[in-house]
Amino acid sequence: MSNILRLVLTLLFDAYSPVLVAVRVLYIIGAWLLFRKSGIASWWSLIPWAREYHMGRCAAREPEGRYLCVTSMMVTLLSVLGICVQWNPDNKTLIALSPLIVVILFSVLLAHFVYNIRVFAGFTQVYGVSRWWLVFCILDELRFIPMLVWGGSKKYQPAWKVQNLKAEMERLATHGSAAFMKEGLTVNLKDRHVKEFFQKKYLLKDIHLAIPQGHLVLLLGGSGAGKTTFLNAVNGYEKADAKVTLNGNDMYTDYKKMQYEVGFVPQQELMRGKDTVKRTLLDAAKLRLSKDIPSHDREKRVNEVMDIFGLIPVQDNLVEKLSGGQKKRLSISMEFISNPSLFILDEPDSGLDGVMARELFEHLRQIADTGKIVIVITHTPDRVIDLFDDVIVLAKDSSRTGRLAFYGSIEDARTFFGKQTMEEIVKSINQKEEGGDGLADEFVLKYAEVQNG
């Protein structure tokens, strides 16, 4: 067999011996059949490496599919290098490198084996078959057997199909936008996506709303609905295809200046534990306040904020020594120090007992009453729901994209969803596999109709 032919066969089939090539052809046929059943264009099975990625998608194991694609690519390239060594037995460079090639190939093959097992484990779940089928995956040469059986037999049908995202996007699209609000927050978000492995993955889509000043807003949604992504897009930290204005100023084009107008309190207490409370606040003030403010005024502001949040008695303590509630208050006061127009809090009550949580939300109500917009994510809203003005409900649709299912007053939300509590609303929009009612798409469409008029 000529070396060129070997090289071509290796590139196409990762093998050049007739038996192994035949096995690989059966593997490709198996992939063709599986892709057809899972709603992926079958011709992808003919393209080396991409085939492995789509195998992962079919098995509802997309991340593993990505790794499988990369390891397949590496196996092929290293095999080609091996052929080059055989091709040039006198090439000292290649001969010297061959032990290295073998070591790397061994490591890559090991990883390839593990990801193959994971992807096939995904197939056993998708096709609802016994895990014993994984025995066929131990040897690369036997993998075509389950693929041909699952793909070829009508007895086996996948429980999950790769969806036609484009069609799904069209179905749930909202056409319209929120009216620009000069004094308040206007969000017109077309989409927020990330590129994963040459593919667009939509995290958020079609969110249009306008929040007036002085409102305390609850942001509701199941896990993975895109609440934090939405907040990051609103404050401009992670830009989306959107236009967001705060009191008439564009959050994106003026981001460098507007970032001081937004106070974002993260879920975790992201502060240096080995610094003192006062020093932490002084540094926060130096960072967030104008540099033209004299140091004694800055210190005065720090003392003022410490007084508001009850941190004076612990001002010289190390942050790590504070209680959970004190840490939360410190975290909030770090953002409050610059007196921002928009205040965003991601689960500020996590780890707090009912009394402390109530006290904290009352504090937030007072901040909102000074004319600021306060948006809060919480998973236990019902105990403090009387303090909120509005609720934003984000839902994960069937294509796993976060969409707006509702924005309006608390009472309107109850009417819209036909539920009395916020927790019931969340349950109704959560996916069935998450223990919810799986009504997200319905409510998204219903709200889109309302918005579209």
Partner 1 sequence: MADKNGNTSARQLEVRHRSRFGQIGIYFGKFIRMFVYQSDWKVLPMAALIAGLVGFALGREFRINMEGTLTATFAVVCVCIWNGSFNSIQVVCRERGVVKREHRSGMYISSYILSHMMYQLLLCILQTVVTLIVLHLVGMKFTGSGMFTPWMVVDVGITLFLITYASDLLSLWISTLVHSTTTAMTIMPFVLIFQLIFSGGVFSIPKIVRPIEMLTISSPGLKALASQVNLNELPYSAVDKMIRMVDKVEIGGRVTLGQVLDLLQDEENPTVSDIRSITVGSRMTLREIGEDLLNNDSYADLRSQKLTDSLTVGEVVSSLMQEGVLDEVLDTEVGKTMTFGEAVDYLAADDTVSQHRDAGLDIHMTVGDAIDLIGREETMANIRKTASESMYDPDYEHTDENIIGNWLHILLFVLVFAVLSIFTLEFIDKDKR
Report the nearest approach of partner 1 to the CB of residue 249 (Å). 6
Nearer to partner 1 by Cβ, of 344 and 440: the residue is: 344
Nearer to partner 1 by Cβ, of 132 and 198: the residue is: 198
Report the nearest approach of partner 1 to the CB of residue 28 (Å). 32
Nearer to partner 1 by Cβ, of 124 and 331: the residue is: 331
- List residues binding partner 1 (CB under 8 A): 92-93, 96-97, 183, 213-214, 228-229, 235, 237-238, 246-249, 254, 257-261, 264, 266, 268, 270-272, 274-275, 279, 283-284, 286-292, 318, 334-335, 338-341, 370-373
Nearer to partner 1 by Cβ, of 37 and 372: the residue is: 372
Report the nearest approach of partner 1 to the CB of residue 183 (Å). 7
C-alpha 152: how far from chain center? 35
User: Can you tell me whether residue 274 is helix, strand or coil?
Assistant: coil
User: Can you tell me whether residue 201 is helix, strand or coil?
Assistant: strand
Nearer to partner 1 by Cβ, of 279 and 383: the residue is: 279
Contact 314, 201 (CB under 8 A): no
Nearer to partner 1 by Cβ, of 19 and 96: the residue is: 96
Assigned token pair, 181: 């609000």
Report the nearest approach of partner 1 to the CB of residue 89 (Å). 16
Residue 348 makes CB contacts below 8 A (sequence gap 6+) with 265, 328, 331, 332, 360, 364, 376, 378
Would you tell me how many other CB atoms lie within 10 Å of the CB of residue 309?
20
Q: What is the 3-state secondary structure (H, E, C) of 116-143?
A: HHHHHHHHHHHCCCCHHHHHHHCCHHHC
C-alpha 192: how far from chain center? 11
Report the nearest approach of partner 1 to the CB of residue 207 (Å). 17
Nearer to partner 1 by Cβ, of 152 and 214: the residue is: 214
Residues recorded for the chain: 453
Nearer to partner 1 by Cβ, of 249 and 421: the residue is: 249
Contact 16, 87 (CB under 8 A): no
Report the nearest approach of partner 1 to the CB of residue 168 (Å). 22
Strand partners, 241: 191
Running DSSP on this structure, what letter comes out for residue 148?
H
Report the nearest approach of partner 1 to the CB of residue 436 (Å). 21
Contact 213, 184 (CB under 8 A): yes
Nearer to partner 1 by Cβ, of 174 and 331: the residue is: 331
Which residue from 191, 236, 189 is spatially nearest to 401, judged by alpha carbons?
A: 191
User: Can you tell me whether residue 169 is helix, strand or coil?
Assistant: helix
Assigned token pair, 30: 């198996």
Crossing angle between the packed helical segments 440-452 and 422-429, to the nearest 10 degrees: 100
Running DSSP on this structure, what letter comes out for residue 180?
P
Report the nearest approach of partner 1 to the CB of residue 160 (Å). 23
What are all long-range contacts of 45-54, with beta carbons under 8 Å and residues at least 24 apart? Answer: 48/11, 48/12, 48/14, 48/72, 48/76, 49/73, 49/76, 53/197
Report the nearest approach of partner 1 to the CB of residue 377 (Å). 14
Parallel, antiparallel or unpaired: strands 262-265 and 342-346: parallel
Would you tell me how many other CB atoms lie within 10 Å of the CB of residue 435?
10
Report the nearest approach of partner 1 to the CB of residue 344 (Å). 10
Running DSSP on this structure, what letter comes out for residue 318?
B
Nearer to partner 1 by Cβ, of 151 and 263: the residue is: 263
Contact 202, 399 (CB under 8 A): yes
Report the nearest approach of partner 1 to the CB of residue 100 (Å). 8
Would you tell me how many other CB atoms lie within 10 Å of the CB of residue 217?
21
Nearer to partner 1 by Cβ, of 26 and 78: the residue is: 78
The dihedral sign for the CA sequence 360, 364, 365, 370:
positive
Nearer to partner 1 by Cβ, of 171 and 286: the residue is: 286
Report the nearest approach of partner 1 to the CB of residue 74 (Å). 18
